[in-house]
Chains A and B, each alone.
Chain A
Amino acid sequence: MGVGPLGERSPGGATPIPIPFPTRGKGGASRSAKDLVMTDTPLLEVSDLATFFHARAGVVKAVDGVSFSLKRGEVMGLVGESGSGKSITGFSIIGLLDPPGRIERGSVKLEGRELVGLPADELRAIRGKAISMVFQDPMMTLNPMLTIGDQIGLALEAHESVSGAERRQRAIAALAQVRIPEPETKVDFYPHQFSGGMRQRVAIAIALLHRPRLIICDEPTTALDVSIQAEILTEMKELVAELGTALIWISHDLATVASIADHVCVMRYGKIVEAGPVLQVLTRPQHPYTQGLLDSLPSRAKPGAMLARGAGTDAAPPPRLPRQAESGHRRADLPYVVIETVGKRFQRKSGVLRLLAQKAGLVGPLPAVQAVDTVTLSIARGEALGLVGESGSGKSTLGRIVAGIYAPDSGHVLLDGEPVMSPGDRPHKITTRIQTIFQDPFASLNPRMRIGDSIAEGPLAHGLVSRAEAATYVAQWLAAVGLDPAFAGRYPHQFSGGQRQRVAIARALSMQPDVVVCDEPVASLDVSIQAQIINLLLRLRQELGLTLLFISHDLSVVRHLCDRVAIMHRGRIVESGPAGEVYDNPRDAYTKRLLAAVPVLPVA
């Protein structure tokens, strides 16, 4: 079976041209014969689907003329950046649109049956049975008040009548199917007793319960760590092959799509701009948007090089001001930044009653979390150190200790021989030479302050600029991070995520720091915006001679930006060394697992 004609659909065209996908090209061996009987009629046929949101401000064309078809057992990836309409396409197929969203035109046919315009009760009979869905956040989709077994039972009863004993057996079988160990015990657990990956497995088990012919997964691994993501991806691949279920995998991440899908549709502004077999689209992209997306990925570029699509014409930063008190007692024998035996424990505060009960021996002490466990690291002047770890590894806590936001319980951090925090009972940060850029640009700017004031505030408080020069200084920094200086009077909510992150960078750098702690600065951004911010950081680091502590869970971003890398696991540094060396020859078992879990894009 050959590759069908591909390409862009004419936007808003009256005659929808469904893109014919060839049947499964790879991994089809495990398919049972029954699936192959009806291969010529598509399982799902979406033609000229358009979903609009009628808001007061106007009509948002979230999905605007999308057509594709899906055969039995096929896996299709739906890729796009935020706002491309990929999730709304999924919701439209399954009929889960909330007002003011409405399917404007087009049709969705499941085995020839039209789903658009079907009454609610008939749609309900299809949802969960013929088509089911897995959402991004498994904590939000499971009811915290019900045991896992009860939730699976409820999903069962939605479409069949089962007895109590059978219910339990089926729930256990469902858990076993998604590789949850000890399903007989786990079936009585509540969602909070499960980890994120386990919860997502439960959500998948519920989706698979009625052997649906199609599962729609909306960013199912985005909230998960990379090693859990790898497990879910492998299991999902095996499960759909085993059950012959078709799968629509919605994601912003090209690499995960590449590792699971046979075909991929790239969406932008509510339209499919390119579609075809995964290998072909990712290795020989035809549409400039797809090419741009691929060029934005740091994993495809030479480490340290500017990313092709993130180029910007930014002004030079304002000249460096002479520092008033350049360390008087500098010690040449110490590295630039010293992190020495730093430890931090988090313990929940216990009240008076709890203390009394503890004294009486009724309850034990509250559990404490050793977030950072005697970490010793050093960073040379002008170096970029990448700190990599999964969620809960303590990397953010360590970053906040270096930045002087948290005081460590033990050990200390020195910059140029000077302590970052004041000694004493209530330690506070004393140096301004270390500044921080945070992950979420929506949360890291004061929503009630004009961004110009946010940027000027620190330099004014520390006398770096006078009140008269402040406006010019702010304008210079806005220009340096690629923003219009006229934006100084605006509030954070008036900017996009990428623009806000630029503001946050300007605020950190306007303090004229020598060291910048970057805590996942690109993790919440779209690929193309991520490339722009990475380029900005690369350029500013070079121009200002900055020393970076770059915290990230994304191994490819760290490799691109950092000279040296330290891998953190459960509060400890398990391995550190030059980036190239660690990536190519990992010595620690955890590092090896982490690197193996990263999905890889096919290379041309």
Chain B
Amino acid sequence: MKQPVPAREISPVARFWAEFQESRVAVVALGVVVLMLGVAIFAPLVAPQNPYDLANLVLMDARRPPGFVGSAGYTHILGTDAQGRDLFSAILYGLRISLQMGLIAGSLAFTLGVTLGVGAAYLGGRWEAFIMRVVDLQLAFPAILLALVLSALLGQGKMQLIAALAAAQYAYFARTAHGAASAERGKDYVEAVLSTPLPAKRVVLKHIFPNCLPPLIVVATVQVASAIALEATLSFLGVGLPVTEPSLGMLISNGFQYMLSGRYWISIYPGIALIVLIVAINLVGDRIRDQVNPRLKR
């Protein structure tokens, strides 16, 4: 009775990527995310104009519709805003700030939430009860309300907003991490390393944490998207970033007053950029969630 020969060596990551590609929508969405990240990172190289260098701005070109050829000699493909900025350039620079805020706040929330969640699950007892009740309490409030109150308290500024966003969002990570880690903690392979025995730090970092990652990656993608949306909302309301750091939300807000006078492009195009970014990130997140959901496994 021969034993079957094990399949060719494939790392879990390679397997995951092969499965991911089965959904064409998700691959396209991932492409969009990567493209947007790319243009955001290389905005100074891609944009026809540095929209925040006042020397570049010509007030004569203000509020021109898409396709207008400005005094600098190039076409403003998305038009210009009230200060005569090229909107396309402004959107690229806005994406840069929005993505930066989303990613930094998201990672901060991830680190804080996962540390608390996994820690609570591993420690158990009073600590678990205390941490998780605080998290539950916070989840009872809408994230936008918390972020609004916090950013009002902390004042304007990049750092302050990042802190507010992370504090409003860590609870989602803590909940998910706690659930996953509690499930993993009871599994045989964790009991096996507990009976070896291995030091607690190693059990948590090498065994429990990596196996909690799949659901956390899903939450992370969705939360980055929601951090971007949250930041845009706060900036739109005027409590987010200072005017010197115009994110997509502020661009929308700036154009809002012209909406009814027919100059739709000042608000609409940053809005479309924001929607495309968030939808693309969510589609990628959805695909990953489907993949890590054992119920959908064939």
- Chain A contacts to B: CB under 8 angstroms: 292, 309, 400, 403-405, 428-430, 432, 434-436, 438-440, 443-449, 457-458, 461-462, 487, 489-491, 494-496, 498-499, 504, 507, 511, 517, 528-529, 532
Whole-angstrom CA separation of A60 from B213 in the bound complex? 33
Whole-angstrom CA separation of A436 from B196 in the bound complex? 8
B6 contacts which of A490, A504, A511 (Cβ < 8 Å)?
Answer: A490
Instruction: Write out the residue numbers on chain A whose beta carbons fall within 8 Å of the beta carbon of B196.
Output: 432, 435, 457-458, 461-462, 511
Say whether B197 contacts A446, CB under 8 Å.
Answer: no
Among B7-15, B97-105, B113-121, B150-158, the stretch that binds chain A is: B7-15
Say whether A405 contacts B9, CB under 8 Å.
Answer: no
Whole-angstrom CA separation of A445 from B187 in the bound complex? 10
Known: A436-B195, A487-B6. A448 touches B1 (CB 8 A): no
Q: How far is the CB of A384 from chain B (nearest CB, A)?
A: 19
* Cβ contacts A to B, 10 pairs, < 8 Å: A403-B195, A404-B197, A405-B195, A429-B194, A429-B195, A443-B189, A446-B210, A457-B202, A458-B198, A529-B1
Instruction: Write out the residue numbers on chain A whose beta carbons fall within 8 Å of the beta carbon of B195.
Output: 400, 403-405, 429, 434-436, 517
Say whether B6 contacts A499, CB under 8 Å.
Answer: yes
Say whether B188 contacts A438, CB under 8 Å.
Answer: yes
Closest partner residue, chain B, to A406 (CB atom): B191
Instruction: Write out the residue numbers on chain A whose beta carbons fall within 8 Å of the beta carbon of B7.
Output: 494
A507 contacts which of B192, B197, B207, B211 (Cβ < 8 Å)?
Answer: B192
Say whether A309 contacts B1, CB under 8 Å.
Answer: yes
Interface: B193 (CB within 8 A):
yes
Interface: B261 (CB within 8 A):
no
Interface: B294 (CB within 8 A):
no
Say whether B192 contacts A498, CB under 8 Å.
Answer: no
Whole-angstrom CA separation of A325 from B202 in the bound complex? 24
**B residues 1-35 touching A (CB-CB < 8 Å):** 1, 3-4, 6-7, 9-12
Say whether B194 contacts A405, CB under 8 Å.
Answer: yes
Known: A429-B194, A461-B199, A495-B6. A444 touches B189 (CB 8 A): yes
Closest partner residue, chain B, to A444 (CB atom): B188
Q: How far is the CB of B36 from chain A (nearest CB, A)?
A: 30
Instruction: Write out the residue numbers on chain B whose beta carbons fall within 8 Å of the beta carbon of A499.
Output: 3, 6
Q: Mark B171-212, 1 if CB is under 8 A from A, else 0.
A: 000000000000000011101111111111010001100110
The 5 closest A-B pairs by CB, nearest first: A444-B188, A443-B188, A494-B6, A458-B196, A429-B197
**B residues 198-238 touching A (CB-CB < 8 Å):** 198-200, 202, 206-207, 210-211
Assuming A405-B191, A443-B189, A458-B198, what are 10 further A-B pairs, CB within 8 angstroms? A405-B195, A434-B195, A438-B188, A439-B188, A440-B188, A443-B187, A491-B11, A496-B4, A528-B1, A532-B1
Instruction: Write out the residue numbers on chain A whose beta carbons fall within 8 Å of the beta carbon of B193.
Output: 446, 457-458
Instruction: Write out the residue numbers on chain A whose beta carbons fall within 8 Å of the beta carbon of B6.
Output: 487, 490, 494-496, 499
Whole-angstrom CA separation of A14 from B211 in the bound complex? 51
Instruction: Write out the residue numbers on chain A whose beta carbons fall within 8 Å of the beta carbon of B11.
Output: 491
Instruction: Write out the residue numbers on chain A whose beta carbons fall within 8 Å of the beta carbon of B187.
Output: 443
Say whether A489 contacts B191, CB under 8 Å.
Answer: no
Instruction: Write out the residue numbers on chain A whose beta carbons fall within 8 Å of the beta carbon of B191.
Output: 400, 405, 436, 438, 444
Instruction: Write out the residue numbers on chain B whose beta carbons fall within 8 Å of the beta carbon of A405.
Output: 191, 194-195
Q: How far is the CB of B19 from chain A (nearest CB, A)?
A: 11
B192 contacts which of A438, A447, A494 (Cβ < 8 Å)?
Answer: A438
Q: Mark B126-147, 1 if CB is under 8 A from A, else 0.
A: 0000000000000000000000
Say whether A445 contacts B189, CB under 8 Å.
Answer: yes
Instruction: Write out the residue numbers on chain B whose beta carbons fall within 8 Å of the beta carbon of A461.
Output: 196, 198-199, 202
Instruction: Write out the residue numbers on chain B whose beta carbons fall within 8 Å of the beta carbon of A489.
Output: 9
Closest partner residue, chain A, to B128 (CB atom): A349
Whole-angstrom CA separation of A30 from B202 in the bound complex? 66
A491 contacts which of B12, B199, B211 (Cβ < 8 Å)?
Answer: B12
Q: How far is the CB of A50 from chain B (nearest CB, A)?
A: 22
Among A443, A489, A498, A529, the most chain B Cβ lie within 10 Å of the Cβ of: A443
Instruction: Write out the residue numbers on chain B whose beta carbons fall within 8 Å of the beta carbon of A440.
Output: 188
Instruction: Write out the residue numbers on chain A whose beta carbons fall within 8 Å of the beta carbon of B198.
Output: 457-458, 461
Say whether B188 contacts A447, CB under 8 Å.
Answer: no
Closest partner residue, chain A, to B192 (CB atom): A444
Whole-angstrom CA separation of A405 from B7 in the bound complex? 33
Instruction: Write out the residue numbers on chain B whose beta carbons fall within 8 Å of the beta carbon of A487.
Output: 6
Among B4, B188, B191, B202, the most chain A Cβ lie within 10 Å of the Cβ of: B188
Whole-angstrom CA separation of A532 from B1 in the bound complex? 10
Among B10, B187, B192, the most chain A Cβ lie within 10 Å of the Cβ of: B192
Closest partner residue, chain A, to B6 (CB atom): A494
Say whether A436 contacts B12, CB under 8 Å.
Answer: no
Instruction: Write out the residue numbers on chain B whose beta carbons fall within 8 Å of the beta carbon of A403.
Output: 195
Q: How far is the CB of A93 from chain B (nearest CB, A)?
A: 24
Whole-angstrom CA separation of A447 from B206 in the bound complex? 11
Instruction: Write out the residue numbers on chain A whose beta carbons fall within 8 Å of the beta carbon of B12.
Output: 447-448, 491
Instruction: Write out the residue numbers on chain B whose beta carbons fall within 8 Å of the beta carbon of A511.
Output: 196
Whole-angstrom CA separation of A449 from B207 in the bound complex? 8
Say whether A496 contacts B9, CB under 8 Å.
Answer: no
Q: How far is the CB of B81 from chain A (nearest CB, A)?
A: 49
Whole-angstrom CA separation of A487 from B191 in the bound complex? 24
Say whether A428 contacts B197, CB under 8 Å.
Answer: yes
Closest partner residue, chain B, to A504 (CB atom): B192
Known: A404-B195, A435-B196. A448 touches B211 (CB 8 A): yes
Closest partner residue, chain A, to B7 (CB atom): A494
Whole-angstrom CA separation of A292 from B1 in the bound complex? 8
Instruction: Write out the residue numbers on chain B whose beta carbons fall within 8 Å of the beta carbon of A439.
Output: 188
Whole-angstrom CA separation of A532 from B191 in the bound complex? 25
Instruction: Write out the residue numbers on chain B whose beta carbons fall within 8 Å of the beta carbon of A504.
Output: 192
Instruction: Write out the residue numbers on chain A whose beta carbons fall within 8 Å of the beta carbon of B9.
Output: 489-491, 494
Whole-angstrom CA separation of A467 from B200 in the bound complex? 21
Say whether A498 contacts B3, CB under 8 Å.
Answer: yes
Instruction: Write out the residue numbers on chain A whose beta carbons fall within 8 Å of the beta carbon of B202.
Output: 457, 461
Instruction: Write out the residue numbers on chain A whose beta carbons fall within 8 Å of the beta carbon of B189.
Output: 443-447
Instruction: Write out the residue numbers on chain A whose beta carbons fall within 8 Å of the beta carbon of B3.
Output: 496, 498-499, 529
Instruction: Write out the residue numbers on chain A whose beta carbons fall within 8 Å of the beta carbon of B194.
Output: 404-405, 429
Whole-angstrom CA separation of A432 from B198 in the bound complex? 10
Whole-angstrom CA separation of A498 from B1 in the bound complex? 12
Q: How far is the CB of B123 from chain A (nearest CB, A)?
A: 9
